[in-house]
Amino acid sequence: MRFGIGQPVRRKEDPRFLTGRGRYVDDINLSGQTRAVFLYSQYAHAIIKSIDTSEAERAPGVVAVFTGQHYKADGMGPIEPEMMPEDMGGPKGFRTANMPLAVDRVRYVGQRIAVVIAETEALARDALDLIEVDYEELPHVTSAVEAVKEGAPLIHEEAPQNKSFTLKMGNGDSIDDVINSAHHVTRMTIHNNRLTALTMEPRGCIGEYNDGTGRYTLYTSTQNVHGMKHVLSHQILKIPERNIRVVAHDVGGGFGMKGELYPEEAIATWAAAKVGRPVKWISTRAEAFLSDDQGRDLTVEAALALDQDGRILGLKWDGLHNVGAYINGAGCVPILFSLKLAPTVYDIPVVAVTNAAVFTNTAPTIPYRGAGRPEAVYIMERLMDTAAREMNIDRVELRLRNFIRSDQMPYETKTGWVYDTGNYAETLNKCKVLADWDGYDARKKASESRGFQRGRALIYYVDNTGIFNERMEMRFDTDGNLTILSGVLNHGQGHETSFAQMASEWLGVPFENIRLAQADTDEVSLGRGTYASRSTMVGGSALRAAADQVIERGKSLAAHFMETDADKIEFEEGNFKVKDTNKGMSITEVAQKSSLKMGVPGHLGAGLEGTGAFWSPMPSFPNGCHICEVEVNLSTGEVAIDKYTVVDDIGNVINPLLATAQIHGGVVQGVGQALFENIAYDDNSGQLVSGTLMDYAVPRADCFSDINVDFNPNASTTNPLGVKGVGEGGAVAATPCTMNALLDALSSVGVDDLPLPATATRVWEAIQRVSA
Amino acid sequence: MVKLFKSLFGAPGADESKSTQKSDPVASSPVEAGQISDHSDLITVAMTVNGEKISRQVEGRRRLVEFLREDLRLTGTHVSCDTAQCGACTIHLDGLPVKSCAVLACQADGSDIVTIEGLADGDKLHPMQEAFREYHGLQCGFCTPGMVMSAIGLINDNPSPTEEEIRDHLEGNICRCTGYHNIIKSIAAGGQAMKGQNNV
């Protein structure tokens, strides 16, 4: 089947993007619309003594100026965490309440203080400069390690030691005995640095209020319209959900950052009713650096205990996860996921890991591509290479000795995941062949002859994908064409294509006759959005259930039209056939006839449609092997990726073209973290110092060579499609793989550790230190 | 980046005298670049956009990208950084790729502009657009218009670039989704297809 499952089908959505007809939020303008611009805190930690907006209010073109006092006086609510550990049976933690406009205190540079609403963006910016804020500066702290020390300034008085909560996982009561009696212990302090998602489409929104119906509409750029509707209803506006509609059209990237409601969205929606006109806000890049919630920022003290043969006996790490000034949205998820995945792919008898949520005077951290899994895999794979070097055991052999074997699956980890399928050794070997592992010496010599030091690494990762339940709907139009109403939210993944492939294969509806409806809470009744590599597994499986319902209902309808019983009807390749006869109707005909004004008994319904849901209590576990080869210029510290190879087990592959491209993108983000990207706050001032594209080094095309990707599918048993998520694996694996390759290259000169990101400057400095 | 600035402020192959005078923000004040209207801070600008002659009154501080997006409603040209670093707003100005966030509308007075909307012939995609589709050179699509315009600029200048030349050329265009891998493949194939088309 040309457009069926498993085919590299070209995307349905591309023509509009390629001709400039995509519809991102800044492409929407509403009649009578105003423009909003926000005032951001200049201080990391301060009391707001007063705000004088009088001059700004008198400036040309200004419609209104609002502060937190206005917002609070209207009875509007704060942004709270979507979930805390206590909501899932964990320990109680301090739950922050983040007012969209600060009321009396600011806790990080970039926190919103006031909004100017004016006729144009330029006039709003002119007026913004006229607001005067009287601050009383407080002491601040930006690093989690400093924040937990005695005497550190408290971000929230309710959270002693600046800790919201500490989570603990594993079976590790005996871990200290294991470590004390082990043949070898590898100990490391590992910091997983702070990043920003840097979506190409900056955040933006338009709030609109209809005073006739009392309904609010929020047009925005998000990964999760239903989640935002929920927060607007229950936390912000405190009005019934039926009076709120959230719509996204095309969304220009998310990576987790657009998974939650932001202050600007709350304010634009609220203010639209206040000023009686639509309120539009679009972030500049500088504002995005300040105000987008960020990702990662975990520091751990880790220890890996091994016996004389390199068998792992125990894993211990204690982490401090910098959650920033507030726990926003899914801010707890990276903490939870890093712990759950701590032993990754290794059969470790004793595991004891802890992770504390630590407040600092920095932007909140939330899930960013991987959300905790990159942290877990980075810790484990750095420990493995270090242990191999210290014990003089081959790095690949050490991994093979400790892998969870396919005959041990389903395998329950000591942190409570149950890995369903995977053949790690086989996938590793396939990757070695693809990467020409054995031909490395010749490449190393060639590099040396050109004056470069070559290094390589092989790492193995696992990911957990498929969180929450999902709902999908299939609805035939009266002309027999199909609309899929999707609860997940495509923002670059290619759902218009991949879900149409599935529907076309299962129902025999022509691929080109299928439309995807999504990201509009008035059109799609319920959904969870797209994040955490969940859409194909839970969305696809829910779509399968919807298709099954369509077929069941279609059988009853076809039986009626062909004057037989439903149990005599079979469905095959898009046709309802009467068993053992030549009689049949296509699904298109059944859909058309079932929509007629007369002739269909009421109990058969009107029109052909189906609804399906799916939830798996256990996620799926994509896994794979990455091999990276780097060249280092020892005299400048510059690092070049010369060869990058991936063999992934993502279970059954729906569209290899799209799946491979997800891996490409993830790998480059992972390499970006290893070599370039870093969100940095100045400890002394608390200012964001990586606040522009001149300071935050995003990977560019000339930083890379080709990425070679192949698959070694082991179907997942957690879902009817046998799929595993593919969105994040690249980013999970590429950071440790790149770092380990770089450290391999530098091992000959005596550098055995580097911080993330290993920029050319840091590499050069490390080389100078050891050679001094 | 260097190449783009060159192209903005007088690049090889362009009419040096014309492009320098028109594009240099110091030498050419809004008053010189356009015509003052009776409303003192509005300037009349006229240019050809995607083959169509247009004339509008704009504020002196109106950037070309705002002019295209807001005044002409050509929203295919995107803004991602406002600082000429990401390339999402790349258009062709007098045949050369230019970042339209770094040009004032009045500086483009008298010029010939092509945006992403001006490439396809009805439903028939330009060979470079077709190549991006065939090689899956886009995901979220936000950087794509700038990528395609930049890519065509490269091929016009260098019809058979090596992979390294393509990667170097894209230094001024950021993509966060694709890891560039398929963009490179798309541009190589699109370049070949453009050559084929030119030979016909």
Q: How confident is the model at residue B82 (pLDDT cuts 50, 70, 90)?
A: confident
Q: What one-character-per-residue DSSP string does A13-45 give?
A: THHHHHTT----GGG---TT-EEEEEEE-SSSS
Residue whose token pair is 């990237």: A253
Contacting B residues, span 146-185, partner chain A, CB-CB under 8 Å: 148, 164, 166-168, 170-171, 173-184
Residue A11 forms contact with B (CB below 8 Å): yes
Residue B41 belongs to domain with CATH number: 3.10.20.30
B110 and B194 inside one domain = no
pLDDT (0 to 100) of residue B34: 38
Q: Please report how many Cα atoms fall inside a 13 Å half-sphere around the Cα of residue A15, on the Cβ side.
A: 8
Residue A202 forms contact with B (CB below 8 Å): yes
Residue B81 forms contact with A (CB below 8 Å): yes
Residue A203 forms contact with B (CB below 8 Å): no
Task: Give domain limits for chain A.
Answer: 15-138+200-253+258-291, 420-465+619-772, 467-614
Residue B57 forms contact with A (CB below 8 Å): no
Distance CA A202, CA A693 (A): 13
Nearest to A757, CA basis, from A321, A370, A192? A192
Residue B32 has pLDDT above 60, yes or no: no
Residue B17 forms contact with A (CB below 8 Å): no
Distance CA A62, CA A34 (A): 9
Q: Which of A20, A251, A693 sits opposite B140 (nearest CB)?
A: A251
CATH code of A467-614, in short, is 3.30.365.10
Share of chain A above pLDDT 90, in %: 98
Q: Is the dihedral of CA A408, A414, A418, A420 positive or negative?
A: negative
Residue A640 forms contact with B (CB below 8 Å): no
Q: Which of A19, A201, A664 sits opposite B182 (nearest CB)?
A: A664
Distance CA A745, CA A456 (A): 7
The superfamily CATH assigns to domain A15-138+200-253+258-291 is Aldehyde oxidase/xanthine dehydrogenase, a/b hammerhead (3.90.1170.50)
CATH 3.90.1300.10 for domain A420-465+619-772, yes or no, is no
User: Which residue of A lies nearest to B119 if distances are taken between CA atoms?
Assistant: A19
Q: What one-character-per-residue DSSP string does A527-593 give?
A: ---S-TT-IIIIIHHHHHHHHHHHHHHHHHHHHHHTTS-GGGEEEETTEEEETTSS-EEEHHHHHHH
Please indicate whether, in this complex, the C-beta atoms of B167 and A701 are within 8 angstroms of each other: yes
Nearest to A510, CA basis, from A4, A89, A96, A62? A4
B137 and B93 inside one domain = no
Q: Which of B83, B88, B170 sits opposite A200 (nearest CB)?
A: B88
Residue B28 forms contact with A (CB below 8 Å): no
User: Which chain B residues are closer than 8 Å to A641 by Cβ?
Assistant: none
Q: Which of A122, A200, A661 sits opposite B174 (nearest CB)?
A: A200
Coil, helix or strand for A56? helix
Residue B86 forms contact with A (CB below 8 Å): yes
Please indicate whether, in this complex, the C-beta atoms of A661 and B178 are within 8 angstroms of each other: yes
Contacts of A547 (CB under 8 A, 6+ apart): A474, A502, A503, A506, A507, A610, A612
Distance CA A619, CA A206 (A): 36
Contacting A residues, span 579-618, partner chain B, CB-CB under 8 Å: none
Mean pLDDT of B152-157: 97
DSSP β-bridge partners for residue A632: A453, A639
**How many other C-beta atoms can be found within 10 angstroms of the C-beta atom of residue A252?**
30
Contacts of A287 (CB under 8 A, 6+ apart): A38, A40, A202
Residues A309-340 have pLDDT tens digits of 999 999 999 999 999 999 999 999 999 999 99
Residue A706 forms contact with B (CB below 8 Å): yes
B42 and B103 inside one domain = yes
User: Which chain B residues are closer than 8 Å to A493 by Cβ?
Assistant: 139
User: Which chain A residues are closer than 8 Å to B183 by Cβ?
Assistant: 701
Distance CA A693, CA B84 (A): 10
Residue B90 forms contact with A (CB below 8 Å): no
**How many other C-beta atoms can be found within 10 angstroms of the C-beta atom of residue A185?**
18
Share of chain B above pLDDT 90, in %: 74
DSSP β-bridge partners for residue A681: A688
Residue B172 belongs to domain with CATH number: 1.10.150.120
pLDDT (0 to 100) of residue A703: 86
Local mean pLDDT, 10-residue blocks, chain A (772 residues): 90 97 98 98 98 98 98 97 94 97 98 98 96 98 98 98 98 96 98 98 98 98 98 98 98 98 98 98 98 98 98 98 97 98 98 98 98 98 98 98 98 98 98 98 98 98 97 97 97 97 97 97 97 96 98 98 97 96 97 96 96 97 98 97 98 98 98 98 97 96 92 98 97 98 96 97 97 83
Residues A16-25 have pLDDT tens digits of 999 999 999 9
B162 and B91 inside one domain = no
Residue B11 has pLDDT above 60, yes or no: no
B109 and B179 inside one domain = no
State the nearest Cα–Cα gap between B116 and chain A, in angstroms: 6
Please provide the average confidence, as pLDDT, over all residues in chain B: 84
B107 and B140 inside one domain = no
Residue whose token pair is 């076309």: A504
Distance CA A764, CA A154 (A): 37
Residues A146-163 have pLDDT tens digits of 999 999 999 999 999 999
Please indicate whether, in this complex, the C-beta atoms of B80 and A255 are within 8 angstroms of each other: no
Residue A18 forms contact with B (CB below 8 Å): yes
Residue A284 forms contact with B (CB below 8 Å): yes
State the nearest Cα–Cα gap between A693 and chain B, in angstroms: 7
Residue among B62, B181, B184 with most chain A CBs within 10 A, to mutate? B181
Residue B41 has pLDDT above 90, yes or no: no
Residue whose token pair is 């006039």: A123
Q: Which domain holds residue B162?
A: 127-199
B22 and B110 inside one domain = yes
Q: How many CB pairs under 8 A join A and B?
A: 176
State the nearest Cα–Cα gap between A16 and chain B, in angstroms: 9
B176 and B108 inside one domain = no
Q: How confident is the model at residue B198 (pLDDT cuts 50, 70, 90)?
A: low
Residue among A18, A222, A368 with most chain B CBs within 10 A, to mutate? A18
Question: Residue B192, exposed/middle/buried by CB under 10 A (0-12, 13-18, 19+)?
Answer: middle
Q: Which of B61, B81, B140 sits opposite A253 (nearest CB)?
A: B140
Residue B13 has pLDDT above 90, yes or no: no
Nearest to B178, CA basis, from A705, A666, A11, A254? A666
Please indicate whether, in this complex, the C-beta atoms of B79 and A26 are within 8 angstroms of each other: yes
Amino acid at site A239: I
Higher pLDDT, B29 or A320: A320
Q: Please say whether the beta carbons of A225 and A242 come within 8 A.
A: no
Please indicate whether, in this complex, the C-beta atoms of A661 and B182 are within 8 angstroms of each other: yes
Q: Please say whether the beta carbons of B145 and B92 come within 8 A.
A: no
Residue whose token pair is 């092989």: A458
Taking the complete model, does pTM exceed 0.90, yes or no?
yes
> What are the phi and psi torsion angles at A691 (to 5°)?
-100, 10
Domains identified in chain B, total number: 2
Domains A15-138+200-253+258-291 and A467-614 share a fold: no
State the nearest Cα–Cα gap between B40 and chain A, in angstroms: 17
**How many other C-beta atoms can be found within 10 angstroms of the C-beta atom of residue A240?**
10
B185 and B113 inside one domain = no
Residue B9 has pLDDT above 60, yes or no: no
pLDDT (0 to 100) of residue B16: 35
Residues B99-142 have pLDDT tens digits of 999 999 999 999 999 999 999 999 999 999 999 999 999 999 99
Q: Which of B88, B140, B179 sits opposite A704 (nearest CB)?
A: B179
b/e map B118-133, b = 16+ CB within 10 Å: bbbeeeebbbbbbbbb
Please provide the average confidence, as pLDDT, over all residues in chain A: 97
Please indicate whether, in this complex, the C-beta atoms of A252 and B181 are within 8 angstroms of each other: no
